[in-house]
Chains A and B, each alone.
Chain A
Amino acid sequence: MKNLPRYKNLTIIFYTTILFLYSASFIISPVLCYSQEDARIAIQSAEGTVLNCYWAVFEAEKAGANVSSMLQVLNEAGWLLSRAGVAYNNGDFNLAYEYATNCTQMLDGRVDEANSLKLEAENARRMDFLVNYVGSSVGAVAIVVGGYAFWVFLKRREKTVEA
């Protein structure tokens, strides 16, 4: 009966230690254990993401979209990728992994954004074609034809009046 409080303390310490170790596994493990292979794969993945995003922006710009904000993001992501490359060459694989992952995350959803910009630009271009090419040329032809018809009408009316 005398040992009961001591036993109770030991139990508390035991459970606290278990809880601490369990929590630490979540906090510490993702930070400290990236290998060279992990970093290399992360950098390759980031390079692929940058390239995919670039092609999406390329197509959007070709369609006539304003891609300046997208390019700003791409340049920032490119900077992170450059830093990942330096960290990798210096053997700091954790940092390289971190930069590469940040780069990939920064471009998350940007391809869809570029694609929607492309669609908007294509619609705007269609509208521009309708108004400025078709509308303008048809309008000009209509003025000439209408002018001719009005001219003929005026001449006929004059003849009728004279008669």
Chain B
Amino acid sequence: MRITDYGLLYWTVVGVLALLVASPFFSRVLVYPRTEFFTELWILDENHKAENYPYNITRGQNYTIYLGIGNRLGYCAYYMVQVKFRNQSQPAPTSFGPIENRLPSSLPSLFNMAAFVADEQVLEIPITFSFNYTWDEQLSKVELSSLRLNGVWLNMSNCTLSWDADKKAFRGILFFELYLYNADTNSFKYHGRFVGLWLNMTVSI
């Protein structure tokens, strides 16, 4: 037997060995580049599920939800969540068109929450809230006085909810708009995303 008869086997072994040794190099070089950079925003109920969201609200009672932010921007992001509340006639944030062109609601923010999220990480913020309101039976409207959010009292005067005959409820939406810190302008810019919960302020007759 000549050595050249083992040529194929020999070079196969050498090739496999070389590939094994080079595998850490290839694992770093042959990586498909990330092409999509975005942020996820969601709300879950108190059991971390998308099932039993609070809807029928009782005055002064606490409700818990989880606000989640998933960062896929490729860098550690500095977000600002603006907490707002509106009735059915007040301006909502826009939901259509390219996400960059969407506009936030023109309503003032009740509370601003800073959120720092590392790339490819998720931050879940537990939010416990309760409402204080009064029912004007004669005018058939609910007048909100305050929102307690994670132990912070927020003034909500000037916010009223009219009777929604279709839904048979005093409906308002508690929503969270997401802003992203922009280093170029040194300020927060609306990130085109919001989530909210429709709530019915129940009254005892």
Contacts and interface: CB of A to CB of B under 8 A. Distances in A.
Interface of A: 50, 54, 57-58, 61-62, 67-68, 71, 74-75, 78-79, 81-83, 85-86, 90, 131-133, 135-137, 139-141, 143-144, 147, 151, 154-155, 158
B116 A136 contact: no
29 contacts: A54-B78, A57-B116, A61-B75, A61-B76, A61-B119, A62-B75, A71-B118, A71-B121, A74-B116, A75-B115, A75-B116, A78-B115, A79-B113, A79-B114, A82-B112, A82-B113, A83-B152, A85-B112, A133-B25, A135-B24, A137-B25, A140-B21, A143-B18, A143-B21, A147-B14, A147-B17, A147-B18, A151-B10, A158-B3
B154 A78 contact: no
B24 A86 contact: no
Contact of A140 (B10, B25, B123, B155): B25
Nearest to B25: A136
B22 interface: yes
A144 B14 contact: yes
Interface size class on chain B is: 35 or more
Nearest to B77: A58
A90 B181 CA distance: 25
Contacts of B7: 151
A54 B114 CA distance: 11
Nearest to B112: A82
Interface in B1-26: 2-4, 7, 10-11, 14-15, 17-19, 21-25
A143 B114 CA distance: 54
A135 B18 CA distance: 12
B111 interface: yes
A132 B116 contact: no
A110 B181 CA distance: 20
Given A79-B113, A81-B114, 12 more contacts: A54-B76, A61-B118, A71-B116, A71-B117, A79-B114, A86-B111, A90-B155, A131-B24, A135-B24, A137-B22, A144-B15, A155-B4
B28 interface: yes
B123 A75 contact: yes
A57 B76 contact: yes
Nearest to A78: B114
Nearest to A146: B14
Contacts of B10: 147, 151
A97 to B, nearest CB: 17
A86 B152 CA distance: 8
Nearest to A144: B18
A76 to B, nearest CB: 10
